[in-house]
Amino acid sequence: MAGQVKSIKEIPREELFAPGHRLCAGCGIPPLVRIVLKAVPGPKVVVTATGCLEVATTIFPYTSWRVPWVHNAFENAAATASGIEAAFRILEKKRGIKRPKIIVFGGDGGTFDIGLQALSGALERGHDMIYICYDNEAYMNTGIQRSGATPRGAATTTSPAGRVIPGKMERKKDLLGIAIAHGVRYAATLNPAFPVDMYNKIVKAASVEGPTVLHYLCPCPTGWRFDPSRTIEVARLAVMTRMWPLYEYEDGRYRITVMVKKPRPIEDYIKLQGRFRHLLQPENKWVLDQLRRDVEEFWERLVRLASASE
């Protein structure tokens, strides 16, 4: 496929995301945005829901965006993008104006929870857009409250680990499963520790006419409580422990893009993060075991789906 790369050296050097933003040291968002703007060819319009990315890149009178950019409310990124995409369709038809690719960035709170209805509507209507969820697994911009993306056992300000509960008790939603159920042609997971895999998946998403959904693991040193210098290490361990499988769904077929045949223990991943450290205490072993089952069950399901696609 045109635009695919084999090494990080082949990724374009052009930067459409300017430095000087105020995202936290070690934040996982900048690598995502930089690569997305490199991988999506031609004219593009970015829609960003209220969240970390929005507040830290557009402090008046400054902006980090070197492409047309729209800010909307927490819950309606996909709806705003739908209107923009529909307007450009009319302009293309009536005035011959080339349609830009519409790219949406939303956090897990604005995607899994309060933005899910708008996303569902956009997917059902079939708008030509790339929807990207940068998933830091809690409402980090508003105080580290739990979201539907928060993994089982993680401590947040609304699911604090203590004598009453050992962190969040519910399992993480399957966002891509929800998107795929809407009939999208392409969906994939992304991880900053695997930039070539990420770049190539974004290129694929950009080549599809209609809605696509990308789900990006976005390590958050502040909310996950780890040293900011270890962002990529934490992200890589998420894949190598199978906590964050890298896979894609394309026209009805599943493919695991980074096969982890001999996974590291999930303890290697969680022990680096303050939000999970209580799970290593003997009294919380049962929660850790449940989390391990969640991981194993999802991986086994992916393997079955990928095998059936061969």
Domain contains 188: yes
Q: Is residue 3 part of a domain?
A: no
Does the predicted model carry a pTM greater than 0.75?
A: yes
Q: Which residues of the chain have pLDDT under 70?
A: 1-2
pLDDT at 75: 96
Query: What pLDDT is stored for residue 2 in this prediction?
Result: 53
Q: Is residue 245 a part of any domain in this protein?
A: yes
Gap between the Cα atoms of 162 and 54, Å rounded: 33
Identify the domain containing residue 248 by its residue range.
8-309
In a domain, 12, yes or no: yes
Cα–Cα dist 223/146, whole Å: 10
Per the domain annotation, does 31 fall within a domain?
A: yes
Provide the CATH number for the domain around residue 283. 3.40.50.970
Q: Assess if residue 149 is contained within a domain.
A: yes
Tokens of 225: 């409580």
Q: Is residue 1 part of a domain?
A: no
DSSP β-bridge partners for residue 119: none
Q: What is the pLDDT of residue 1?
A: 46
CA distance 127 to 119: 10
Give the pairing of strands 101-107 and 212-217.
unpaired
Residues 6+ apart with CB under 8 A from 63: 18, 57, 69
Judge contact between 36 and 131, C-beta under 8 A: no
Residue 2 lies in a domain: no
pLDDT at 3: 87
The residue written with tokens 């393997």 in the block is: 303
pLDDT of residue 310: 85
Total domain count, the chain: 1
